[in-house]
Structure 1
Amino acid sequence: MAERVRPLQVALLGCGVVGSQVARLMTTHAADLAARIGAPVELAGVAVRRPDKVREGVDPELVTTDAAGLVSRGDIDVVVEMIGGIEPARSLIQAAFANGASVVTANKALLAKDGPLLYAAAEKHGADLYFEAAVAGAIPLLRPLRESLAGDKVNRVLGIVNGTTNFILDRMESSGAGYGEALSEATALGYAEADPTADVEGFDAAAKAAILAGIAFHTRVHLDEVHREGVTEVTAADIACARDMGRTVKLLAICERAEDGRSVTARVHPAMIPLSHPLASVRGAYNAVFVEAEAAGRLMFYGPGAGGVPTASAVLGDLVATCRNRVGGGRAPGESAYARLPVSPMGEVVTRYHISLDVVDKPGVLAQCAMVFADHGVSIDSVRQTGKDGEASLIVVTHRAPDAALASTVAALRRLDTVHGVVSIMRVEGE
């Protein structure tokens, strides 16, 4: 008779949109999970803030408000953290490690801020740290970067990693709506939170960019080192102008290794990309990420980037992996930050720009503006000019130039008497 294997005990912290689906899938897929892991997996406790709330599929006897007590139990094998934020999540995860439990989390904000601290705690106590669901929801992305491409050299990661902003920009393009109208629709459909700041101002995408850059380049990239711009300043006119030029606007997370290989950059901002680029066809709340590696070439990962069930799928994948390690004696990959590459500031990033100016419609204005670009070392690729009743609009697309040079160019343009305003500045990527 085969020896009966001890069931692995899982503590779940948080039972909201994602946590509740994790609990449901653990129950409905219990037999399959046991077969894949080599041991049964049991939900040992669920820590919540509101214990009286009815949670379908969750045994009320398992519910507790004492999260600290739950993670400190000696019989817990894995803690699944679905609380989010910095505290108390950080303290609870550290306590879990100290008590010998491995951790599965989707907490991008905490990983971007204190990833090295968590890695060190996991290493010290011989535990695993898995976090596939922290970036791009259900899309298998972090494990390929950490494991499948571990023998390759990744040079660039570029993608759409926030579904809320992609939905907003997609609606602005498809319906001609302004930003406010598109945001209201996203909120009504549940894509945007009541307070959408983390999404629309780029904080969510910046945290994910920090995680991606750190893994891709084997270098610690702190959240504060990620340049961040949101979508709140994108106008219907920007969207229309991009369409007229055969482009579309997306909020991109871009992590790059410098051409000389001596530094890296990480940034989040709206950008125009050609309609022929695969990312241009990513609609609604979906995510997609390009990885460019030296040997593997260009790889694209696409799928739902949020939602309870898709994100729970990624969490369950991590749960299976760490439980297998518990049964078989393996370990998750630890932190790989041996490269220690410096993170360059945004001013050193080289890319192309789309600049819209309101100017006086009279001879010599275009030449005057062109001279400003030349004086600051920014080469012009193309210019479009329209005029009426003494006013004109100039649309300038530049060749590649450092961001600092562009900033000084714009400052000089604003000082010209013939320039009434710099209407918009947007980077051009994917060409």
Structure 2
Amino acid sequence: MSYAHEILKNLQRSSPAQSEFYQAAEEVLASLGPELERDPRYLRHGIIERLIEPERQILFRVAWMDDAGGVHVNKGYRVQFNSALGPYKGGLRFHPAVTAGVIKFLGFEQIFKNALTGLPIGGAKGGADFDPKGRSDAEIMRFCQAFMTELHRHIGATVDVPAGDIGVGTREIGYLYGHYRRLSGRYEGTITGKGLDWGGSLGRKQATGYGCVYFAENMLNARNESLEGNTCLVSGAGNVAIYTIEKLYQLGAFPVTCSDSRGTIHDEHGIDLELLKQLKEEQRQPLSRYLEYHPKAEYTPAEDYPQGGHAVWRYSARAAFPCATQNELSGSDAEALLANGIACVSEGANMPSTREAVERFLEAGIAFGPGKAANAGGVATSQLEMQQNAGLTQWPLEKVDSHLRAIMADIFRRSSRTAAEFGQPSNLIMGANITGFRRVANAMIEQGLF
């Protein structure tokens, strides 16, 4: 039995029914094999065994009251995975599909993503199986306050700094941070993604989407290509997708799709960005309403599309940006993208491509940016927000965006250089995993057992 297989088998026994976590761990372990053979220190110090188990897993009940006086109970999570490089850092996700396995997969990915930024931050993730959709502002406020009542004792500006994720935007961050201040009596940078008037950073809202596009730009430039003038596919209609679309337009590209849980829009004239912001950021309306303003656009309801595929990936384009959720891009979707001339895939979401899809992209030799590298712009800018909070200042947008662009270029360069060490310069999965792993593993060895 191989070392990696034994690790995964033990993981399945100790953490049952956590398929997303197994998938993330298997991908990382497959990449690390050559590095583990090259440097025996990592095995001698039990680095993999220590990395694969979180330093702390916090599971708690969240009891809250709806507007009619009914009591509801949800599960809350915070998984503090690794703090070798600095305070734990990772978002909070409020979504009915949240489970322990989802949170652990996200937290495990966060270790390597945060390490890739070169910034002093560890890896964590949290959330709850609460669905904000259809809830009033008052209900969301009460839920956030109940959630923070438990979480506040485990976080702090130099301990653990949560941020937003799916279902947790500026509104939810506001309620969470307000209650944290009330409970702790401290005004500090304990949560990132805050409003601009109370400690937030310019550019944070755009960072994950912008960073994802910057990473694609670097991948294509290395192949003497560019995004300018090319048609692009984007999935999702949330924060990451919206600002991926915005940056694509700024760089001269032409995004023609977006999607939500109900269906996909294809607009051959280019996605109407201002309308998308209006529907999703301001009105929180279903994407199908796009047709009221652009009746010539094509809308494909999710239930009308064959199982095992996604309509957003079936159009001709040069670059694709999966920005919705994990495992949204299947093997059959990858085949469709390649058949339609795709040359670049940059992951804006966390692990949005299935294992089969990733294998097809690597076999085809296209430019493929894995999520832990391509979507690291969000956490990188969160750390820039932490810097601003520590100095009681706020940087101009141009400075934040300049830092972001430089960080994404550096992640690409270091990941490419590491992949080239092993004779696979285009395998950025291997390059990113080993680059992030080295930084964390070396810190763990130097600091001793903890």
Comparing both structures, which one devotes a greater share of its residues to strand?
1
TM-score interval, smaller chain: under 0.3
TM-score, normalised via structure 1 length: 0.28
